[in-house]
């Protein structure tokens, strides 16, 4: 995947162009909204439109903009009061002076679910200021912050295509170059809601695809071919065993730790969760098959049995998410970090497994995993994390939950097959700022001691009771996620036995007894 942009001259034209649409009565929602529940939602409880919201006090001023022909493609104006105003603009109250637009403004994105529809990322929120704002300042902010969108295109057709931006003022095409085939040639551009693009066959000038930007997202031209799966060698289990031996040795190489257990469960802030879930919901139908081969990525995902899918994320949005997520991880590890990697959203399908492994030492010191979405899952698909004493913990995650983990040191995976429909994750990774060799260091003063000895542990719950304290230890600091299997690994061979032992589902008794 590479980052691309529009030609410089075309960017200038694109920024100056105005989307000409006719204002209809539906564009300005009549009357003030009292509750977020009054907004339009689809059958899945997701917003069906973009909105710009202002407190009811501002409605007359904003209405005057519409009377003058101000347009916002795809985004309705709403005024809010009471419960809705308090939810979107907590802590704000009208000032005593009647200054135009002396109040906050928020842009709400389509695809967000009802429970967090009132929560907006900082870039979509214009704070009130005592000196007020002119109507022109308001217009400029809406276009730059709310109407701007990142749009990605990936070409799965059999030929390179020409790209044109359609100038809405005169309908003329503006040449934007060409788009080569394949995911690695994905083109991300900065555009605006309502902008239209056409793609043509260079030989015939036939329009083979057209797209109007409705939200930040990715649009494929055609469908990718199903990946050609390598034939597995007859001794592939030996290769998996060797892989697990290597992962065991790798996790022992890392000397630094950051936390007592090596992981921690948390929850995304509402505004960040609203942004992530809305992006996925708007783009989930444009997921593509992720390419896995034995020679490329090994056996870590069972690609030879189940196809993994992937939803790409535009670069600017990716950076915004990664920086916000870094603040959460820094709060967990207690030191300043720097961004290293954040991938697209991987969607696992029923039957998927993820082999126990550790991540790259140089870049993956402290990481987090986000449950973005799941559907028709008939039993919890736990994230398996081994702590600093190699005890297995199995953490249940719901959409919006996060698990922090020391991903280069603590073994982790999902060896029990996913039972049910799908499960979508997002991963982000960090390391101590300016220290690519962090994994060779001793723990600095003040680092929490790894929790090694917790006394005697015993099963007090059921064998399928995860994240509910089914295992009780003398030291309660072990937390509620210790696996009911009571499995503790001592070698790569143990990891292989675990992979074999849970192939048909979780064990019904202590797995250590089976070892």
We report the CATH number of the domain holding residue 207 as 2.60.40.780
Based on the domain organization, do 143 and 156 belong to the same domain? no
Q: Is residue 469 part of a domain?
A: no
Q: Is residue 471 part of a domain?
A: no
Q: Is residue 33 part of a domain?
A: yes
Angle between helices 315-333 and 270-283 (to 10 degrees): 140
- Give the per-residue pLDDT at 252: 97
- Give the per-residue pLDDT at 99: 56
Chosen domain end from 392, 418, 450: 450
Based on the domain organization, do 169 and 182 belong to the same domain? yes
Based on the domain organization, do 130 and 159 belong to the same domain? no
Based on the domain organization, do 208 and 344 belong to the same domain? no
Query: Which range of residues forms the domain containing residue 174?
Result: 149-221
The pLDDT tens digits for 18-74 are 333 233 334 445 578 999 999 999 999 999 999 999 998 877 777 677 667 777 899
Based on the domain organization, do 357 and 275 belong to the same domain? yes
Based on the domain organization, do 214 and 258 belong to the same domain? no
Cβ atoms of 14 and 167 closer than 8 Å: no
Q: Is residue 458 part of a domain?
A: no
Based on the domain organization, do 87 and 205 belong to the same domain? no
- Residue 344 CA to residue 372 CA, distance in Å, equals 11
Chosen domain end from 425, 450, 475: 450
Based on the domain organization, do 190 and 62 belong to the same domain? no
Neighbours of 336 (CB within 10 A): 11
The pLDDT tens digits for 472-496 are 999 999 999 999 999 999 999 999 9
State the CATH number of the domain containing residue 291: 2.60.120.620
Write out the E strands in 245-336. Answer: 263-267, 288-289, 309-311
- Give the per-residue pLDDT at 23: 32
DSSP secondary structure of 396-431: ---TTEEEEE-TTTS-EEE-SPP-EEEEEEEEEEEE
- Give the per-residue pLDDT at 18: 33
Low-confidence ranges of the chain (pLDDT < 70): 1-30, 63, 66-67, 96-101, 226-232, 291-297, 508-515
Count CA atoms closer than 13 A to 501's CA, side-chain side. 18
Q: Is residue 466 part of a domain?
A: no
The number of domains in the chain is 3
- Residue 503 CA to residue 417 CA, distance in Å, equals 7
Based on the domain organization, do 254 and 294 belong to the same domain? yes
- Residue 146 CA to residue 123 CA, distance in Å, equals 8
Q: Is residue 59 part of a domain?
A: yes
Q: Is residue 7 part of a domain?
A: no
Based on the domain organization, do 406 and 273 belong to the same domain? yes
Q: What is the DSSP letter of 56?
A: G
Based on the domain organization, do 302 and 324 belong to the same domain? yes
Phi-psi region of 284 (alpha: psi -120 to 50; beta: other; left: phi over 0): alpha
Chosen domain end from 403, 428, 450: 450
pTM: 0.91
Q: Is residue 121 part of a domain?
A: yes
Based on the domain organization, do 200 and 63 belong to the same domain? no
């Amino acid at each position: 995947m590479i980052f691309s942009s529009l030609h410089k001259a075309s960017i200038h034209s694109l920024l100056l162009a105005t989307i000409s649409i006719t204002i209809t009565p539906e564009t300005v929602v009549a009357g003030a909204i009292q509750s977020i529940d009054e907004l339009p939602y689809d059958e899945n409880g997701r917003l069906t439109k973009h909105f710009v919201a202002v407190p009811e006090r501002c409605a007359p001023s904003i209405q005057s903009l519409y009377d003058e022909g101000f347009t916002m493609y795809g985004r309705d104006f709403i005024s809010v009061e009471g419960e809705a105003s308090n939810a979107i603009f907590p802590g704000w109250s009208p000032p005593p002076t009647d200054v135009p637009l002396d109040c906050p403004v928020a842009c709400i994105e389509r695809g967000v679910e009802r429970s967090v529809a009132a929560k907006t990322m900082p870039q979509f929120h214009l704070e009130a200021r005592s000196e007020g704002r002119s109507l022109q300042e308001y217009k400029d902010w809406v276009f730059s912050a709310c109407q701007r969108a990142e749009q990605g295109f990936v070409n799965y057709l059999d030929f390179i295509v020409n790209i044109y931006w359609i100038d809405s003022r005169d309908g003329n095409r503006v040449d934007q170059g060409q788009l080569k085939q394949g995911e690695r040639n994905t083109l991300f551009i900065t555009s605006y809601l309502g902008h239209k693009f056409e793609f043509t066959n260079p030989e015939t000038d036939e329009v083979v695809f057209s797209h109007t930007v409705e939200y930040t997202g990715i649009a494929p031209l055609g469908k990718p071919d199903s990946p050609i799966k390598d034939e597995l060698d007859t001794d592939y289990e030996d290769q998996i065993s060797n892989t697990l031996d290597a992962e065991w040795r790798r996790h022992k190489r890392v000397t630094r730790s950051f936390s007592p257990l090596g992981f921690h469960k948390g929850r995304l802030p509402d505004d960040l969760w609203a942004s992530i879930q809305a992006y996925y919901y708007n783009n989930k139908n444009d997921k593509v098959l992720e390419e896995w081969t034995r020679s490329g990525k090994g056996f870590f995902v069972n690609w030879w049995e189940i196809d993994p899918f992937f939803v790409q994320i535009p670069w600017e949005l990716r950076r915004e998410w990664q920086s916000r997520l870094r603040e959460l991880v820094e709060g967990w590890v207690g030191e300043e970090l720097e961004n290293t990697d954040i991938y697209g959203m991987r969607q696992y399908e029923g039957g998927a497994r993820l082999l126990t492994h550790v991540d790259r030492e140089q870049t993956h010191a402290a990481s987090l995993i986000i449950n973005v979405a799941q559907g028709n899952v008939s039993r919890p698909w736990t994230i398996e994390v081994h702590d600093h004493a190699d005890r297995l913990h199995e953490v249940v995650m719901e959409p919006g939950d996060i698990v922090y983990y020391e991903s280069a040191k603590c073994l982790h995976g999902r060896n029990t097959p996913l039972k049910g429909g799908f499960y979508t994750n997002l991963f982000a990774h960090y390391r101590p700022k300016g220290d690519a060799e962090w994994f060779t260091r001793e723990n600095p003063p003040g680092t929490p001691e790894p929790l090694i000895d917790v006394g005697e542990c015993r099963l007090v719950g059921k064998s399928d009771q995860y994240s509910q304290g089914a295992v009780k230890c003398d030291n309660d600091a072990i937390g509620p996620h210790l696996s009911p299997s009571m499995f503790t690994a001592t070698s790569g061979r143990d990891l292989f036995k675990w992979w074999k032992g849970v192939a048909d589902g979780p064990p019904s008794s202590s797995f250590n007894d089976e070892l």
